[in-house]
Amino acid sequence: MPNSFPKIIWQTHNHKKQWLPDHLNTIAATWVNLNPGWDYRYVDQVQRDEKVRQYPEIYEIYKYRLPVIQSDIWRFIVTYEEGGCYADMDSVCRKPLDYMIDNIQGDPEIITVPVYQNMGNTHNFIVKAKSPIMKMVVDKMIVKGIPSPTQPFGPWMTAPFKTFVDTVYSAPNVNKYFDAAHHSVEYKARFDYKKHIIEYYGQTMTYVDFITEKGLSLRI
């Protein structure tokens, strides 16, 4: 394939994975089962803290922030360093990442979700390691000191979020066609894998049919 992204999938939550509710582990399994050639990495709050400590200027602000904001900060750092795909825990994989990448034109540094209502978002993206664009995001967090969150569009409109959106969505060599996921806050509470429909190299099929055909497990 012309686009060479590190085959790593990053997800994070505050707790150890074995302590998560069953439905969240079932959602996470969609990323594993649809991407068997990818390295799935789950990171808890303690591990996030260890990573951000490597950036003292950022950590001094990070440590006082709510976990949801800490997650934003961590994802930019880890994907800058190692690249790969970041997916929110309330995102369900709907097609193999290789399939999505195969259909991307050119050779972008980052594939991110489309602009929605004049806004970008950080809940699903894939990036090359040491991307200059992602380095700009990390550097700006250091320079700006990650000021207190402002909330003109709701509590999610944090300074790290805005730094990512302003930097990435205005940069060249960014593709805004990340369509390998369904993202919904409803998935935090429920997800019916039996009704989940996926795309697989031109075919539409149920998730259950896919994992049965591949001899995979519903849970991880």
Q: What is the pTM of this model?
A: 0.91
List the beta strands (DSSP E) in the chain: 8-12, 39-43, 84-87, 91-93, 110-112, 124-127, 174-175, 181-183, 197-200, 203-206
Q: Which residues pair with 71 in a beta bridge?
A: none
pLDDT score at 188: 77
% of the chain exceeding 70 in pLDDT? 89
Q: What is the mean pLDDT of the chain?
A: 88
Q: Distance (Å, rounded) from C-alpha 137 to C-alpha 59? A: 15
Counted domains in the chain: 1
152: confidence class by pLDDT, cuts 50, 70, 90: very low
Range of the domain at 52: 8-214
Work out whether the CA dihedral 129, 141, 164, 8 comes out positive or negative.
positive
In a domain, 219, yes or no: no
At 124, is the secondary structure helix, strand, or coil?
A: strand
CATH of the domain at 106: 3.90.550
C-alpha closest to that of 92 among 28, 14, 188: 28
pLDDT, tens only, 88-126: 999 999 999 999 999 998 999 999 999 876 678 899 999
At 79, is the secondary structure helix, strand, or coil?
A: helix
In a domain, 2, yes or no: no
pLDDT, tens only, 173-208: 999 999 999 988 888 788 899 999 999 988 999 999
157: confidence class by pLDDT, cuts 50, 70, 90: very low
In a domain, 135, yes or no: yes
pLDDT score at 220: 55
The two structure tokens encoding residue 122: 């950080």
